[in-house]
Structure 1
Amino acid sequence: MFDRKTKICLMFESGENCFHHENIGDKVCYRLKSLCNNVNCPRCPIGYYGDACQQIIQDCSDGHHRNVARKASLISYIQPTSKGEIIEAKCNFDYGGITLFQLRESLCDPVDFNRNWIDYVNGFGYIHGEYWLGLKHVYNILQNYPAIALQVNFQYGYRGWQGYFNYFSLSDHDTGYKFSAGSYYGAPVDPIGNSLTVAPNSLEGRPFSTYDNDISGNDCPNRFKGGFWFMNKANCSRANPNGRRNHTNFESSLFWLDDLGDRNDFTKVQLRLNRI
């Protein structure tokens, strides 16, 4: 990372052989291209493996099992389908390998999550900050394993609340990425409640909605200021992880009603894929 103001260069763990990746304000971000000599690779870009870095992991769980990284939390290249798009994802290579597909973070520059359908399908935001991986990529990752849990994390300062939805799945693009999940369980300490699958407010079988592709029938994406799975009811949902940070209107702010009540001052929200 080169800072144009301070003229200081901080290198990533990967080393010196880098190529220009993207501009971030006054900073320029670089990624390792390769340390290969077409025969042996002493170190591959994170996510790649093989004698000549010729293979790439499907997701962060695959990376954990292939031991592709020495640190737990890293940005990694992944390729959810064998001939599909290569993308970057936030990975935690501990705990079986966790792929982060949504991040809200008060320390990062805010990203507007009130986006259109195409953005939510393809992904948006900044890999080094707040981001949404993309419904098509989440769907492809889910197809690779028989069982993946949706892990939900809400945090304020040093205190966090956590819950898991087993057997999380999505339908395909043509059917609107309909939500489905199995049993729910909260973390032993500071669990969040079940705001997604308890009747009569369950999101089971509901397609994803955005302001320009609203399946809710109640203008929910516009009211909640973000895309999500919404009920066909006036109250839309008991959770809004894609709302606006610290917004004065509670309905359009970040909230998770069950166990967290009317709190909406969270400093971090994460949605993760955790292989069972």
Structure 2
Amino acid sequence: MHLSDYPEDCAAVYLNTIASQQYTVTGKPVKVWCDMETDGGGWTVFQKRGDFIPQEDFYRTWLEYKRGFGDLHQQFWLGNDRLSMLSNQDLYELRVDMEDFDGQKRFAQYSSFRVSNEQDKYRLSLGSYTKGDAGDSLTDHNGMQFSTKDQDNDRDIGSCAQRHNGAWWYSSCHQSNLNGGYLRGDHPNTEGVGVNWKTFRGLYNSLKISEMKIRPVWFKP
């Protein structure tokens, strides 16, 4: 396969196969995980957390989030450079799937999603909350630049990334923190330091699973 022959995302892959697995996409080859099952498939997954041993450390530097890290078959962050490239080649919707340690599954979906380039600090552009049963804990972060423990781009007087053990599009500070510490359920003495989604289990409970994924708005399964 020539470089120009790679599909641009998992929706394009879907036209030829419907298996959820690792694929290579875009003109500049990028390995991604394609979810071909959820809500008709065609999703390009860029973040995944789960109850694995050993746990992947998500409290990482700007450079590590820029390049990406982890195992596509378990836990990973695709990388902000790749995410910016992918999300700017078409108009995408965003879906966030979550599960707590009691087995409750929820999701949140947004009409559009885009991340800018590194010069603009990977700023989040998010559309409206369109459907789901997890509630909206991301709109508050719309328009924010990405922050890590070694690069503070939030609106708070301190570092939200350092305070909440994560990396995110923090405002002052957050309603969601899906790259936070993996604390396996309740953490009653520390607010917002886990894998949190405020409208699903609040900021004192760390979720078991989170997956963030994008799909072109034109996609019809």
TM range (shorter): 0.7 to 0.9
1:193 and 2:135 correspond: yes
Aligned partners of 1:204, 1:75: CA distance in 2, in Å?
29
Q: Which of 19, 25, 32 is the matching residue for 1:78?
A: 25
Q: Give the aligned partner of residue 181 of structure 2.
A: 244
- Higher-RCO chain (CA-CA 8 Å, sequence separation at least 6): 2
Cα displacement (A) at 1:103: 0.4
- Contact 1:109–1:129 (CA<8 Å) still a contact in 2? no
Q: Which of 92, 95, 120 is the matching residue for 2:65?
A: 120
* Unaligned runs of at least 5 residues, structure 1: 1-47
Percent identical across equivalent pairs? 25
Q: Give the aligned partner of residue 152 of structure 2.
A: 214
Q: Give the aligned partner of residue 89 of structure 2.
A: 144
Aligned residues: 208
SS in 1 for 2:119: helix
Q: How does 1:251-270 map to 2 (within 5 A)?
A: 251-262=192-203, 264-270=205-211
Q: Which of 91, 103, 109 is the matching residue for 2:34?
A: 91
Q: Which of 47, 52, 57 is the matching residue for 2:7?
A: 57
> What amino acid is aligned across from residue 242 of structure 1 in structure 2?
N
- Contact 1:109–1:130 (CA<8 Å) still a contact in 2? no
The structure-2 alpha-carbon separation of the partners of 1:205 and 1:263, relative to structure 1 and needing over 3 Å to count, comes to same
- Contact 2:18–2:41 (CA<8 Å) still a contact in 1? no
Aligned partners of 1:122, 1:148: CA distance in 2, in Å?
21
* Unaligned runs of at least 5 residues, structure 2: none
TM-score, normalised via structure 1 length: 0.70
Larger Rg: 1
- Contact 1:108–1:130 (CA<8 Å) still a contact in 2? no
- Contact 1:193–1:260 (CA<8 Å) still a contact in 2? no
The structure-2 alpha-carbon separation of the partners of 1:219 and 1:70, relative to structure 1 and needing over 3 Å to count, comes to closer
Aligned partners of 2:73, 2:83: CA distance in 1, in Å?
19
- Contact 1:155–1:266 (CA<8 Å) still a contact in 2? yes
SS in 2 for 1:252: coil
